[in-house]
A and B are shown apart, each in its own frame.
Chain A
């Protein structure tokens, strides 16, 4: 079975953490996301959430793993263009990534699945959405790729159509699957768009919360049983940088 470097047991004997590829953030995370972790990535629009998530997606491919990107509010081509903007190219990683596109079919229902893209007709179709994610994870696992990561961009769109209870149930199931496959995951959410109580409910599912505060240029990491850690961040031409102390 092919086993990527990041999955080899670390010094403590456990599976290696999934690095985000952002050194300062990996430091705040004690080395990266633990396999099986569900991370909520929060912050307002234009805060750099997408850049961080796409960097994490691409880092998995660089490490020889498999990455899945669920898009609910952008065309797949736009996500690919944003990746390429940072020189995060996909060509050399064929067969190890898939986009699960729940947005494009709204404008073109005739789109057919390919090796790189699975289409889901609507974000409210949880059964099909879950099926697309879990079958991708199964395929990668069957091919021996057990370093898997999932980006979900974003929960905001789902909360527009489905009740918070419904989203909670859906994410509970996905969380169990992420843990079962020893994958790591990043679910993006913009808390300001939703009722505070809804957001707090969803926070219960998170193993890690990464919060971006662009006004102050701060990034905060919260993990159960650990002190809250913070650093400064900046989005640059080539990606996302974090240092433990404010830059300015």
Chain B
């Protein structure tokens, strides 16, 4: 993900723009922690809740901010308490949050030229502005322009039915815009992150399902990856080999229901579902495969005679329609076929990744995951799913009569 979002040289301006049902604060905290881990100085401006709330969010996500705060690498700037007309106990605070110059001065005093500023939240700044939406937008754009000289800035904006022109202005004030969007039925069932532009260039091919893990932070999350393949090809062993934790429903060493694994790997998370391989379970394969977003097809590279069965399983699970990676197991044995030959004999497209693997020793597991996630990040079907998602329930142009 970071590879795709790698920004150009010089200060960056990134905006997380979220539908109202999604709380963007964990994304701000996650971005701050990522910058802190890179050694950057971070100023986190919080203007709609006490600074302690940010520490609490970080704590729930499994991040300990104490050491970064103690050394001054992280400064949480209380731009909220003054609204409440109560004295702030924070070391870093803005005394007049309504005044742009006061905020800018305090931020600049606390953030070096190459530092990172997280602005949580732009929407609250607008909502709490005594001059209304027009004035709020004008002030926040002023603030961003002034703070941004030489500094990186990450903004959080919830789209509470603002004037479309104002939202457009916000979007253009940032080089990178990442939209956090829900898939809603009545409730939010899934969240997606969609890059609208990266480093000033519009983009449409980066859409990933995303989840805030507590603990764990923000992860690109694939809710269902299917692991299927012929009987005794090593599916359960592969699920165990690539999972952070797993469980198998088996009888006398053979999977009779399914394997389940949870995988946490370099910012990605996924739930893995392994199918049984015996033909007698074919009637349930279709149901096990429902709503899968990708398939790992496991084959025994020494037994090409099982490949027709592998193809049949791909048909039953509708795996041909999904991003597909082949795990060629038992690749250490002398009679194992080479990856190209496995691909040919399976009749798969030349671009289908075939990864040699020795599941019992976890050899090749890393390459398998890299191939899988690279494929998923390129998958245009996710983009289509995202655009088909439901509405937020808020009119884009929330009518307001004065």
Interface residues of A (CB under 8 A from B): 105-106, 109-110, 121-122, 124-128, 130-131, 134-135, 137-138, 141-142, 161-163, 165-170, 172-173, 176-177, 180-181, 197, 201, 204
Interface bits B97-115 vs A (CB < 8 Å: 1, else 0): 0000000000000000000
**Given A131-B23, A141-B187, A169-B161, does the pair A201, B124 have CB atoms closer than 8 Å?**
no
Chain A binder among B46-54, B255-263, B335-343, B359-367? B46-54
Instruction: List which B184-204 residues lie within 8 A (CB) of chain A.
Output: 186-188
- Ranked 4 nearest A-B pairs via Cβ: A166-B127, A138-B187, A176-B393, A121-B53
Q: Is the CB of A127 within 8 A of B128?
A: no
Question: B402 interface residue, CB < 8 Å from A?
Answer: yes
Name B's interface SS: loop
Partner of B161, one of A173, A180, A197, A204: A173
Q: Is the CB of A126 within 8 A of B53?
A: no
Question: B398 interface residue, CB < 8 Å from A?
Answer: yes
Name A's interface SS: helix
| Chain A neighbourhood of B126, CB < 8 A | 166
Q: Is the CB of B52 within 8 A of A124?
A: no
Question: B36 interface residue, CB < 8 Å from A?
Answer: no
B189 CB to closest chain A CB (Å) equals 9
Q: Is the CB of A134 within 8 A of B49?
A: no
CA distance in complex: A135, B188 (Å): 8
Q: Is the CB of A131 within 8 A of B22?
A: yes
A-B CB contact pairs (8 Å), 17 listed: A109-B50, A110-B56, A121-B53, A126-B20, A126-B123, A127-B20, A128-B25, A137-B187, A141-B187, A142-B187, A161-B128, A163-B128, A165-B400, A168-B400, A172-B161, A177-B393, A201-B401
Q: Is the CB of B124 within 8 A of A134?
A: no
CA distance in complex: A46, B321 (Å): 64
| Chain B neighbourhood of A128, CB < 8 A | 23, 25, 49
Q: Is the CB of A124 within 8 A of B127?
A: yes
CA distance in complex: A166, B126 (Å): 8
CA distance in complex: A109, B50 (Å): 8
Q: Which residue of B lies closest to A140 (CB)?
A: B187
Q: Is the CB of B186 within 8 A of A176?
A: no
Instruction: List which B119-142 residues lie within 8 A (CB) of chain A.
Output: 121, 123-124, 126-130, 132-133, 136
| Chain A neighbourhood of B30, CB < 8 A | none
B211 CB to closest chain A CB (Å) equals 14
CA distance in complex: A172, B396 (Å): 11
| Chain B neighbourhood of A204, CB < 8 A | 401
Q: Is the CB of B393 within 8 A of A125?
A: no
Q: Which residue of B lies closest to A130 (CB)?
A: B20
| Chain A neighbourhood of B56, CB < 8 A | 109-110, 121
Question: B265 interface residue, CB < 8 Å from A?
Answer: no
| Chain B neighbourhood of A125, CB < 8 A | 25, 48-49, 53, 124
Q: Is the CB of B186 within 8 A of A163?
A: no
CA distance in complex: A125, B136 (Å): 16
Question: B18 interface residue, CB < 8 Å from A?
Answer: yes
Question: B174 interface residue, CB < 8 Å from A?
Answer: no
CA distance in complex: A142, B130 (Å): 40
Question: B394 interface residue, CB < 8 Å from A?
Answer: yes
